[in-house]
Amino acid sequence: MEPLPGEWAFRDHLEAAGHVCILKDASDLENSSEIAKLIEAESLEAALALHLYRGGRLLRGHGIPFGIIFGGTDLNEDVNHGEKKEVMGKVLEEARFAVAFTESMKEMAQTQWPHARGKIYVQSQGIVTGPNSAFNWNTFLRQSGINQSADNLHIFLLVCGLRQVKDPLYLVDAFSEWHREEPNVYMVIVGPEVDPVFTREVGARVKRAAGVRLIREMPQGDLHAALKNCFAVVNSSVSEGMSAAILEAMDLEVPVLARNIPGNAAVVKHEVTGLLFSDPQEFVQLAKRLVSDPALEREIVANGREYVRARHSWQAERCTYQNLIRTLEGSIQD
């Protein structure tokens, strides 16, 4: 019920099997009674919640069968709060199934809630990309306030919702220092405003930071085209379930530099499918290395593309969710 970048894919998977799907943002639903009204008004027969706490807690006690898709925040952050952990355990008691993106996420969930061991499945996030041919890279640069020839630039793109767990300010100071040494390197932060207060803080910091720009959320086709045109994609999150931006960059044959956290390390193998950094200084060192070593760039790009196409199949994802939803259909019939 909590929209994610892949929400439309989930809906497509289910509608392809003949289901009628309604998407709702959990943040727009204040309490469980609003879900009850929605279930009655739309004659809903089953539900799929994205994020165990934010989405799943709203589905408890309504009598309709539902499944859960774990996010990163629920397993990496919410589980450390006693009340939230207790609520999530109760959600898993009622859920017919739960989906984790990686084996490590499944193991984490099983450790926290042993009673759910038999209902947790693993399905990597599927990826489909296709740059928008109408997108203009030079226009994007001008809109980002970068008035230099595109031929001489190295643009590092950080794609994230503007909230603290994504830590978009983590690299700002170190990157600014590098930009002062090499004025042709820029970092552009792209993403929706999730936390208004934090967004203002990010905006204020970026305005003072040389070589760093902030632009608003982009349509998916334009974002994929921007990814394809940039030099590298960056992830600086404190925690991740599975970063769609990283997978999309790999599929589009763009190098990835990601913060060395469990969610990223499950996807990015250092110096094989991307580069992992542990602090801002190491990020700059690795970024400089990538700029100066075309052979390394070609190698990680080729390996990343091969990995994503072998392990993150959109068709496999569709098959998994269609099969899981059939288990909910069986519950309805019973």
Q: What is the pLDDT of residues 184-219, one digit of tens each?
A: 999 999 988 888 999 999 999 999 999 999 998 888
Q: Which residues pair with 257 in a beta bridge?
A: 234, 275
Mean pLDDT of the chain: 89
Q: Which residue has the tokens 């984490």?
A: 108
> Beta 66-69 vs 97-100: how paired, if at all?
parallel
**8 Å CB contact between 67 and 45:** no
pTM reported for the whole predicted model = 0.81
Q: Do the bridges between strand 256-259 and strand 275-277 make them parallel or antiparallel, or are there none, so unpaired?
A: parallel
Q: Which two tokens stand for residue 330?
A: 């069986």
- 17-52 pLDDT, tens digit per residue, is 888 888 888 777 777 788 888 888 888 888 888 889
Q: Does domain 137-311 have CATH number 3.40.50.2000?
A: yes
Long-range CB contacts (within 8 A, 24+) of 39-44: 39/64
In this prediction, residue 325 carries a pLDDT of 87
pLDDT class of 331 with cuts at 50, 70, 90: low
How far apart are alpha carbons 163 and 281 in whole angstroms?
A: 23
Token pair, residue 287, equals 């970024």
Quickly tell me which residue has 């086709």 as its tokens. 221
Residues 50 and 23: beta-carbon distance below 8 Å: no
CA-angle at 34, arms to 29 and 35, nearest 5°: 90
**Tokens representing residue 135 in the block:** 């997108």
**Tens of pLDDT along 127-170?**
777 666 678 999 999 999 998 888 889 999 999 999 999 999 99
Q: Give which of 138, 69, 100, 127 is closest to 244, Cα–Cα.
A: 127
The answer to whether residue 292 scores a pLDDT higher than 70 is yes
The domain defined by 7-126+313-333 carries CATH number 3.40.50.2000: yes
User: Residues for the chain: how many in total?
Assistant: 334
Share above pLDDT 70 across residues of the chain, in percent, rounded to a whole number:
94
Rg (CA), the chain: 21
Q: Name the segment(s) of the chain with CATH classification 3.40.50.2000.
A: 7-126+313-333, 137-311
Q: What is the pLDDT of residue 1?
A: 32
Mean pLDDT of 239-257: 93
pLDDT of the residue at 27: 74
Beta bridge partners of 193: 162
Cα separation, 282 vs 171, in Å, equals: 10
Alpha-carbon distance of 55 to 57, in angstroms, equals: 6
